Amino acid sequence: MASPSRPLLDPEVLARLGTLKLRVRSVTEGILSGLHRSPHHGQSVEFAEHKEYAPGDDVRRIDWKAYGKFDKYYVKQFEQETNLRCHLVVDSSGSMGWKGAPGRLTKLEYGAALAASLAWLLVRQADAAGLLLCAGEVVRSIPPRASAGHLQPILEALSAAVPAGPTRLDAAIDWVVEHAPRRSAVVLISDLFDQDQRLLKQLAQLSRRGHEVTIFHLLDPAELTFPFEEPTLFLSMEDGRSVEAVGREVKQGYLGLMAAWLAGVKREAAEADLDYTLCPTDRPLDEVLLPFLARRERHAA
């Protein structure tokens, strides 16, 4: 749905933007214009060295003890510039390549825009952002880094992502467990059509290990409303199965099953202290990102 006040954040508008870069810029600019101040101030826990103060440095970081000794202003330099390592796990299975209407983004496109925007925002505030593209297995992995030059490979990887294969997110979770020894943020962007019913349990384990897990559950509006009436041959997008059904005849049952499943996912996520957000792909991205960023700010405080 087009939003008159934030036209560039509307998924339909984004869908008309050809490249992911343009989408990311539209999204982040829209989001930044909506923020009054950045919630991130750059904190580090491990001191590295001093640096002589120069105009423009944060006066709060002046080391007053050093000033007492040397009568000069020194600013503290920390060994680690970022205060967050974020793993952006993007599902690129076959089911993510679907869109319910021609003018709409596919779930993968929507998720890519979401992931890229997050990466940009994180890197901009000196957080490290990494990427995991995952289908039946981890298709592509980019370790988290906080440099601006790190964004380019993330955007390239997201742009090049092709929806294919079954949804097997446990491989991505295993990768995170293996490669993220420190506490980090894990942002899972997926439709959660995982054949493994233990996905949420695995995510809960991640949470228990100290990782901050956020789930962006992407679903096309058509998957939520099932607007089909006529006889249709439904084809599975991840294997060769098919089923013939008259839309209006199975609609009620479908919607019931979908509602029950969503309620179950939400309940399990809440039980495991996972940050869960249902994102219909017609929902403006700022409506998704701003609450997320606000939550992040509260956690950081």
Q: Which residues bind other proteins (CB under 8 A)?
A: 95-96, 98, 107, 191, 193, 220, 223, 228, 230-238, 241-246, 249-254, 256-258, 261
Residues 215, 275: contact at Cβ < 8 Å?
yes
Nearest approach in angstroms of CB 166 to other proteins is: 12
CB nearer other proteins, residue 180 or residue 188: 188
At 184, the amino acid letter reads: S
Nearest approach in angstroms of CB 207 to other proteins is: 26
CB nearer other proteins, residue 32 or residue 246: 246
Tokens of 32: 């930044």
Instruction: Give the Cα separation of 60 and 73 in Å (integer).
Output: 12
CB nearer other proteins, residue 38 or residue 195: 195
List, as own/partner pairs, every contact residues 29-35 make where C-beta atoms lie below 8 angstroms and the sequence separation is at least 24, other chains included.
Answer: 30/6, 30/285, 30/286, 31/117, 31/121, 31/285, 31/286, 31/289, 31/290, 31/293, 34/6, 34/286, 34/290, 35/293
Q: Token match 């098919």: residue? A: 242
Nearest approach in angstroms of CB 102 to other proteins is: 14
Nearest approach in angstroms of CB 115 to other proteins is: 19
Of 214, 202, 197, the C-alpha closest to 174 is: 202
Backbone angles phi, psi at 97, to 5 degrees: -90, 15
At 181, the amino acid letter reads: P
CB nearer other proteins, residue 220 or residue 282: 220
Nearest approach in angstroms of CB 276 to other proteins is: 18
Nearest approach in angstroms of CB 116 to other proteins is: 22
Nearest approach in angstroms of CB 162 to other proteins is: 15
Instruction: Give the Cα separation of 51 and 63 in Å (integer).
Output: 10
Q: How far apart are the first and last CA of the chain?
A: 34
CB nearer other proteins, residue 47 or residue 261: 261
Nearest approach in angstroms of CB 221 to other proteins is: 12
| Sheet hosting strand 128-134, strand order edge to edge | 138-145, 128-134, 85-91, 185-190, 212-219, 275-280
For 299, counting Cβ atoms within 10 Å of its Cβ (0-12 exposed, 13-18 middle, 19+ buried), the class is exposed
CB nearer other proteins, residue 24 or residue 114: 114
CB nearer other proteins, residue 185 or residue 188: 188
CB nearer other proteins, residue 36 or residue 242: 242
